[in-house]
Structure 1
């Protein structure tokens, strides 16, 4: 398992908007305590405000925190990255696709004390036109 010193987000500047670093204080549910150490601008835009320094239960609703805690526990038990993909229908023709990969960081032989993640949001389907197409 890589450690925090193996990862420098500044080494991958093109990915910074979607990167997060999470500090793990406790993974036991329901008292899962995970805090955003770093949250890129894409995460801020998805949530609607900067979440850096905040615990997940201060940012998200209880069902979302429960789902996140289950993902974190899965990662901590297996010491493997976890991939998540969700979709949200925005209109009849447009779907938002959210993808996230989260990997454990910490000392070898121990539970992770951090998670490193990357978030991507994309749109699928036709986008409505803002102006009519020229005819002829």
Structure 2
């Protein structure tokens, strides 16, 4: 597998431990660094406020706070810092309406394959540059 042009610091969130474990193992294989794995949107927001993050990958349907609400809070904070962390959302359901949410750069359907993940991360890298 060809290494990425740069290593990204990535935060993930999913309420399913198997999926968090999958991403924890997969992201370093793709040449990126996992800054943390949250089990709900509230933890994801706290993680992104505490850690410098280049990209967020989040499930949509989670307890306490869903991924879209978490992404919006992260985006609001980033706007205050005059930057924007791109967000990739994933779900096993239909694609949500995200046209009015410029921070959401891609949508993945579960189960997420390594090729789908790599393509979404590469796309997010190009949008961030």
Query: TM over 0.5, yes or no?
Result: no
The structure with the larger Rg is 1
Q: Which has the higher contact order (CA 8 A, sep 6+)?
A: 1
Structure in which a larger fraction of residues adopt helix: 2
Structure in which a larger fraction of residues adopt strand: 1
With normalisation by structure 1, the TM-score equals: 0.28
